[in-house]
Amino acid sequence: MKVKHWLDRQNDENAFSLSDVKYDGKITARGTSFQSHISLVSNVSRDYSRNITEFETRFALHFEREQNGRITLTGEPLAVTFGRPIANMEVFLEKVFSGAAPFRLSGVPLNVRGQLYRVVAVDLHVSQTVTFEIAPEFMRVFLPRGSCGNTVARLYTNLQHYYDSTVELRTGGGVRVFEP
């Protein structure tokens, strides 16, 4: 994605950077203002960090017993939705959960019922377990508490880049996590 970024466009139209922002976080820039480039990188980094923190705090699942004895469940699964249903579940699951790059998720898919599969996978990037439920139309991600929110962002990016550019990441209630 190409981005033209001005540091302070109203006061200086000529101080800008032209950046090439890649899916893997690499940013290369040309332009007239190094400060503008730094500003863009800082913004991207801050937004990414905020999203990751939100994944970990809002979505990570865990049961909790309060002092009054009440047990509650906090967190919620995230859902990656596919613009086009997965045509061949076996091939898709084999590719995503083989442990190989780019997904680096290792797990054995189990058929729950019909076209719904469950994979308790190991994210080899961070060596933590994450549970997935996959159907042709969606992939649910159950992030355990204490796991890295980066797992979700990487999965979303890789699916978008390598599988289907129309994938979306949604909350359990259907709200889109990343705005286009």
Residues lying near another protein in the complex (CB under 8 A) are found at 61-65, 68-73, 76-77, 79, 106-108, 110, 112-116, 118, 120-122, 127-129, 131, 133, 135, 138, 140, 142, 171-174
Q: Minimum Å distance from CB 89 to another protein?
A: 13
Greatest extent of the chain over all pairs of C-alpha atoms, in Å:
63
Q: Which is nearer to another protein, 41 or 135 (CB)?
A: 135
Please name which of 134, 84, 85, 76 lies closest in space to residue 105, comparing C-alpha atoms.
134
Q: Which is nearer to another protein, 17 or 56 (CB)?
A: 56
Q: Minimum Å distance from CB 103 to another protein?
A: 15
Q: Which is nearer to another protein, 2 or 70 (CB)?
A: 70
Q: Minimum Å distance from CB 131 to another protein?
A: 5
| Cβ atoms < 10 Å from Cβ of 142 | 19
Q: Minimum Å distance from CB 118 to another protein?
A: 6
Cβ–Cβ under 8 Å, residues 62 and 149: no
